[in-house]
Structure 1
Amino acid sequence: MELAYLLFQVAVALLAIATYYTHRRLTYFKRQGVPHDAPHLLRGNMEGFNSTRTIQEIMQDYYNKYRNSKVPFVGFYFFQKPCAFIMDLDLVKHILIKDFSNFSDKGLYYNEKDDPISAHLFNLDGPQWRLLRNKLTSTFTSGKMKFMYPTVVSVANEFMAVMHEKVKMSNVLEIRELVARFTVDVIGTCAFGIQCNSLRDEKAEFLHFGKRSLVEKRHGPLLFSLMFSYPKLARRLRLVKTAPHIQKFYQRIVNETVALREKEHIRRNDFMDLLIDMKNQKEMTLENGDVVKGLTMDEVLAQAFVFFIAGFETSSSTMGYALYELAKHPHIQDKVRAEVEEVLENHGQKLTYESTKDLKYLNMVIDETLRLYTIVPHLDRMAHKRFVVPGHPNFVIEAGQSIVIPSSAIHHDPSIYPEPYEFRPERFSPEESANRPSIAWLPFGDGPRNCIGLRFGRMQACIGLALLIKNFKFSTCSKTPNPLVYDPRSVALSVPEGINLQVEAF
C-alpha cells in the first residue's frame, strides 16, 4: 500500500513538472513581449499539419498575418518548440551570412545510433557537419559538373526516346511521374554508378522507395511533434523517424555498392567514391584544427540517402511545375524553345556544359518556378549565443533559440514580388533582380549552409527541360489539374495526383 502511494506521489510530481515545463515553453513569447498567436497545447501554431494544410500553407498564412507588423521577428510554435519566425530580410541576411558563425546549427532531430539514416548532412550540426560539408563540396566543383555533364545528357536522350514512345500511345501524359523517373536515373548513375532503369521499368525500386520516403514515417504526428519539439529527449527515448522498410532498402543498396567497389577496386570519381574514401580514413583534421574520426558505414548510408532524395525530388518537382506553367503560358514556352534552338545551332546541335550557360531565359524560367513552387518551405537555424537584433534592441534571440526563415512565404510577398502568384520569368532578368535584395530568393538557402548540390540540381533540370521543350509541345487539357492540389503529408511540395498534360512530338 505504501509503495502504491509512493508511486502515486512520484507520478503526480512528474506530471506537475511536465505541466510547468510545458506551460513555460508555451508562454515563452508572451513573457518576451514578442507578437505571436496563442498556441494549441500539442500542435502549437501548426494547425492542420499532416491532415488539411501543407507546411507552405501554414507558414504563408502566419506570415501574411504579421507581414505589416514592422517587427524583425514574431513568435511561432512549431508544435511545442518556440521559434523566432523571421519577418525582416536584413535579419535573414545576418542569420544566413553576416553572423553565420552564431547560427551555423539547425538544432533538428537526428539519432545516429537508433536511426542512422537520419544523421545526414541536412540535419547534422557541429564538427561533423563542418567535416562533411568541407569534404563533399569537392563533388560539386565546375570540373566535376563538366565531367558528369555527358552522363546527364545521355540519360536525358534516353528520356526523350521513352517520351516519343509514350506519345505514340497517348497524347496525354502524367508528366510529374516521367520527370521523376529521369532524375532518379540521373542521380543513380552520377552519384552511385547504379543503373536504376526507372525510365523503362515502371516498378523500379529506386523510384518506388524514393517517393515513399517523403510521406511515410515510423510514427504518427504526435511522436513526430515530440521529436521536433524535444530532440534531446527523443534521442534518450531512442525514437526512430525513418520507416523500417525504407531504411532496409537503402542499407542494402549502399552496402552492396560499397562492397562491390572495394572488392573490385572500382573508382568512378563520384560522390560514392568520396564517401568510401572518408570511411577508410581513421582520422580527419578540420580547418579549425578539430580532429574527427572517419565515417562509419551508417554515416556513409545517411549521406548517400539524403543526396539521392534531395537530388531526385527537388529537381523532378521543379521540372514538373515548370512544364505545368509552360503549358499554361504557350508564349513563354515558345520563347524558351526559340532560345534552345538558337543555342543548339550555335553549338553544333549538341548540348554542352558551356552551352547551358547560354540558356539564359530557360534559367529565368527555372528561377521563377523555384520561387512560385518552393519545394522546401522554410529554413531552420539555431543561435549559439545571445543575439540582439541590429536596430531593434528590444528583440533578442537567446542562446539555444530555434529560428524559422519562411522562404516560401517570402517568395510570395507582394512587396518583394508584385503579383506573386503570377508566373513571370522576367522577374529574374538582370535588371529586375538588381532592384531587390538577393536574400529574397531562397529555394536553396544562402550562405555557408546553402544547398550543397544546387549546381547539380540546376544542371539536370536545365538539360531535361531544354530537350523536352525542343522535342515536344506541352499544353493543358481536360485532365490537367487547375488549381494544383498538394499533399499535406509530404515534407516537400508534392502533387499526389500528378500533373496530366497534353504532349505533341515535333
Structure 2
Amino acid sequence: MAVFASVLLTNLFAIVVALVVITIAFYKWKYVHWKMKGIPYLDPSIPFGNITNPFKENKQLNVEFANWYARLKSMKHRYGGVFMLFNPILLVTDVELVKNILTKDFANFMDHGFYTNERDDPLSVNLLSLEGQKWRNLRVKLTPTFTSGKMKMMFQPVVDCSNIMANAILSYSNNQQPVNIKEVFSCFTTDVIGHCAFGVECNSFTDEEGTFRVRGKLATETTVEENLKNLVIFAFPDLAKMLRLAITKKKVTQFFLKLVEDTVSYREKNNVRRNDFMQLLIDIRNSEENGEAMSIRDLAAQVFIFFIGGFETSSTTATFCLYEISRDLEIQDKLRDEVNEVLDKFGGKLTYDAIHEMKYMEQVVDETLRKYPPLSIMFRICTKDYQIPDSNVVINKGERVAISSLGLHRDPEYFPEPEKFDPERFNPENKSKIHPFSYIPFGEGPRICIGLRFGKMQTKVGLATLLRNFRFTLNPKTNDPLVMDPAHFLLSAKDGVWLDVEKIG
C-alpha cells in the first residue's frame, strides 16, 4: 500500500511538473509575438503579462494602460506591444494613428472585440459589444433617441430629480455631516435613468435598498476574484463559452430581464405609451419583421447598457468635478456666479436653453472629462490586415489594438501640466488649439458614445442645481490626491469623495 501511494505521489508530481513546464513554454512562445513582428514592446512577466500582480499590488486597469502609454511615449514609440496574461495588444500612442483607427480606416477596426455569450450572459449582447452589420443596424435605429428634440423632452424630469438631490444634500448641511458625493450623485443618476428609460420612479434617496440602486452598484463593482475571472474570459473566450461563464452577475441579469418583460407586457396589454428609451425599443421591435424582431433579451441588453452608461459615467464625472472645484474655490465661485447670472436671465428657472448658455460650466465639465475620461481605454479588433502608414508593420486580422484616452489626456505634449485642473484649456481660444484626437473622453468616429449628450446634460443639470444652493469644501476623509479604486472597471475614487456642505443664502 505504501509503495502504491509513493508511486501515485511520484506520478502526480511528474504531471504537475510537466504542466508547469508546458505552461511556461506556452507563455514564452506567446511572449515573442511582438519581437517576431519587429514591434517595440514592454517586457511581460508570467503569468499576468504587463498587468501588475493583483495579489501583490492591485492597480486600476485604466491607470495601468495610461502608465504603459507614458512609458512607450517616453521611448519615442508611436505604438508598442503589451500583454494581458498572454494576449498581445498593440497600444497606440500616435494621435494620427488614433485618428486612422477611429475614423479614417474605421472599416479595419469596426469591432470592440468584447466577450458576448447570448445563452448564458444575454445582457452582454448590447450595442457596445455587437459587431459588424448587427452593430451598424442597431446603431442607426437607436440614434434618434438622442436628438435635440428628445433631449428637451427628457430635460424636465432630470431637473425634477436634481431638486430631490438638493433636498437630500440640505439634510447633510443642516446636520453638519460630510457627504459621500458619489453616493448622492449615483442616487440622482439612478432616478434619472429610471424615469427616462422606464418611466419608473426609483426614489433612490428615500429607499436606499431600492432594487435599481442595489443592482446598479452590483453591476459596476467587482472583487479581485471577479477581475481574475474576467481576465480568464478575456484570454479564453471560446473556453469561457463552453464553461458557460458570464461577466454580468446573475442577479443583475435576472432583474433586467424581468423588468423589461414586465414593462413590455404592461404597456402592450394596456396600450400605454411613454416618451422614454423603453418606448423607442418597443417601437423598433414592433416595426420589424418577425424574423428580425428584437427579443425580450435583446431589449434587456440595450436597456442594461443605457442604464450602466447613464448611471455610472455621469455620477463619476460629477463626483470628480466637485472634488476638483472643492480644492479650488476660485473656480467653484466663478462657476457658481455664472450659474446664478444665467438663471437670472431665465427668471430663476433651470431650462434646456439656460444650461446651454453656461459656457464656463462646459469648460469645467470638459476639463473634468480630460482628467477623468469615462472611456479611459478603447479596444478594437483588426477585422482585416492593416499596414500602419509610413511603416512596414502590418496589424494582422484578429489582433487587438488599444487606445488609452487617459494616457492621451495626461500627456504633457498635448496638455501642459496635465495634473493641474484648468478649465481655461477649453475656453474658445485654447480649445481650437487642442490637437485633434488628443481629447477623446467619449471615443470618436462612428462608435463614439451614443449617449454622450444625455450624459453631459444630466451632469451639468446636477452641478448647476447644487452649486446655486451650496458651497462645497474637501473633508479630511477624502484621499488627496485621489487613489483610483481597482474594484471598478471605470475610474472611481477609492474610499469615495467626502465633502463638507454649506447652504448658501
- Asked whether the two chains share a fold, i.e. TM above 0.5, the reply is yes
2:69 aligned residue = 63
| Mapping of residues 89-238 of structure 1, within 5 Å | 89-216=95-222, 220-238=226-244
| Mapping of residues 179-328 of structure 1, within 5 Å | 179-216=185-222, 220-283=226-289, 293-328=292-327
Aligned partners of 1:100 and 1:93: how far apart in 2? Answer: 9
**Residue 479 of structure 1, CA deviation:** 2.8
SS in 2 for 1:44: coil
Cα contact 2:233–2:245 (8 A) shared by 1: yes
1:336 and 2:341 correspond: no
1:403 and 2:401 correspond: yes
SS in 2 for 1:439: coil
Aligned partners of 2:286 and 2:25: how far apart in 1? Answer: 49
**Residue 354 of structure 1, CA deviation:** 1.3
1:7 aligned residue = none
| Mapping of residues 448-459 of structure 1, within 5 Å | 448-459=446-457
Aligned partners of 1:208 and 1:29: how far apart in 2? Answer: 43
Q: Which moved more, 1:447-456 or 1:340-349?
A: 340-349
Cα contact 1:73–1:85 (8 A) shared by 2: yes
Cα contact 2:172–2:501 (8 A) shared by 1: no
**Residue 252 of structure 1, CA deviation:** 2.3
Instruction: In structure 1, give the amino acid aligned to 2:340.
Output: E
Q: Which moved more, 1:214-223 or 1:240-249?
A: 214-223
**Residue 396 of structure 1, CA deviation:** 1.9
Once the two structures are superposed, what CA deviation does each residue of 1:297-350 show, in whole Å capped at 9, x if it has no partner? Answer: 111111111110110100001111111111110000010011111111111211
1:502 aligned residue = 500
Aligned partners of 2:471 and 2:302: how far apart in 1? Answer: 38
Aligned partners of 1:49 and 1:373: how far apart in 2? Answer: 23
Instruction: In structure 1, give the amino acid aligned to 2:102.
Output: L
Aligned partners of 2:19 and 2:208: how far apart in 1? Answer: 53
1:288 aligned residue = none
Instruction: In structure 2, give the amino acid aligned to 1:267.
Output: R
1:44 paired residue among 39, 45, 49: 49
**Residue 37 of structure 1, CA deviation:** 1.9
**Residue 234 of structure 1, CA deviation:** 2.5
* Structure 1: unaligned runs, 5 residues or longer: 1-10, 285-291
2:439 aligned residue = 441
| % identity of equivalent residues | 41
The RMSD of aligned alpha carbons is 2.5
SS in 2 for 1:148: helix
Aligned partners of 1:184 and 1:130: how far apart in 2? Answer: 28
Aligned partners of 1:205 and 1:332: how far apart in 2? Answer: 37
**Residue 492 of structure 1, CA deviation:** 0.9
Once the two structures are superposed, what CA deviation does each residue of 1:129-166 show, in whole Å capped at 9, x if it has no partner? Answer: 11221111110001100111111111112222222233
Instruction: In structure 2, give the amino acid aligned to 1:444.
Output: F
SS in 2 for 1:474: strand
1:73 aligned residue = 79
Aligned partners of 1:171 and 1:337: how far apart in 2? Answer: 22
Q: Which moved more, 1:329-338 or 1:488-497?
A: 488-497
Sort the Cα spacing of 1:22 and 1:278 in 2 relative to 1 into closer, same or farther, 3 A: farther
**Residue 111 of structure 1, CA deviation:** 0.5
Aligned partners of 2:93 and 2:230: how far apart in 1? Answer: 26
Cα contact 1:258–1:276 (8 A) shared by 2: yes
Q: Which moved more, 1:68-77 or 1:315-324?
A: 68-77
TM-score relative to the length of structure 1: 0.91
Sort the Cα spacing of 1:256 and 1:69 in 2 relative to 1 into closer, same or farther, 3 A: same
Aligned partners of 1:298 and 1:19: how far apart in 2? Answer: 41
1:5 aligned residue = none
Sort the Cα spacing of 1:427 and 1:94 in 2 relative to 1 into closer, same or farther, 3 A: same
TM-score relative to the length of structure 2: 0.92
**Residue 218 of structure 1, CA deviation:** 11
Sort the Cα spacing of 1:461 and 1:372 in 2 relative to 1 into closer, same or farther, 3 A: same
Sort the Cα spacing of 1:79 and 1:377 in 2 relative to 1 into closer, same or farther, 3 A: farther
2:424 paired residue among 418, 423, 426: 426
Once the two structures are superposed, what CA deviation does each residue of 1:160-204 show, in whole Å capped at 9, x if it has no partner? Answer: 222223321234222111111111100110111111100222222
Q: Which moved more, 1:306-315 or 1:14-23?
A: 14-23
Cα contact 2:42–2:80 (8 A) shared by 1: no
Sort the Cα spacing of 1:276 and 1:30 in 2 relative to 1 into closer, same or farther, 3 A: same
SS in 1 for 2:402: strand
2:30 paired residue among 25, 30, 38: 25
1:485 and 2:483 correspond: yes
Once the two structures are superposed, what CA deviation does each residue of 1:75-113 show, in whole Å capped at 9, x if it has no partner? Answer: 011222211100100000000011111111111111111
Instruction: In structure 2, give the amino acid aligned to 1:215.
Output: E
Cα contact 1:176–1:316 (8 A) shared by 2: yes
Once the two structures are superposed, what CA deviation does each residue of 1:393-418 show, in whole Å capped at 9, x if it has no partner? Answer: 22221111111001111111111111
2:4 aligned residue = none
SS in 2 for 1:91: helix
**Residue 222 of structure 1, CA deviation:** 4.0
2:373 aligned residue = 374
Instruction: In structure 2, give the amino acid aligned to 1:361.
Output: Y
Once the two structures are superposed, what CA deviation does each residue of 1:199-235 show, in whole Å capped at 9, x if it has no partner? Answer: 2222222111111211237964443222112323422
**Residue 377 of structure 1, CA deviation:** 2.0
2:11 aligned residue = none
Q: Which moved more, 1:381-390 or 1:169-178?
A: 169-178
Q: Which moved more, 1:114-123 or 1:480-489?
A: 480-489
Aligned partners of 1:115 and 1:218: how far apart in 2? Answer: 20
Cα contact 1:56–1:408 (8 A) shared by 2: yes
SS in 1 for 2:74: coil
SS in 2 for 1:75: strand
**Residue 278 of structure 1, CA deviation:** 3.0
Cα contact 2:478–2:495 (8 A) shared by 1: no
SS in 1 for 2:324: helix
Instruction: In structure 2, give the amino acid aligned to 1:27.
Output: V
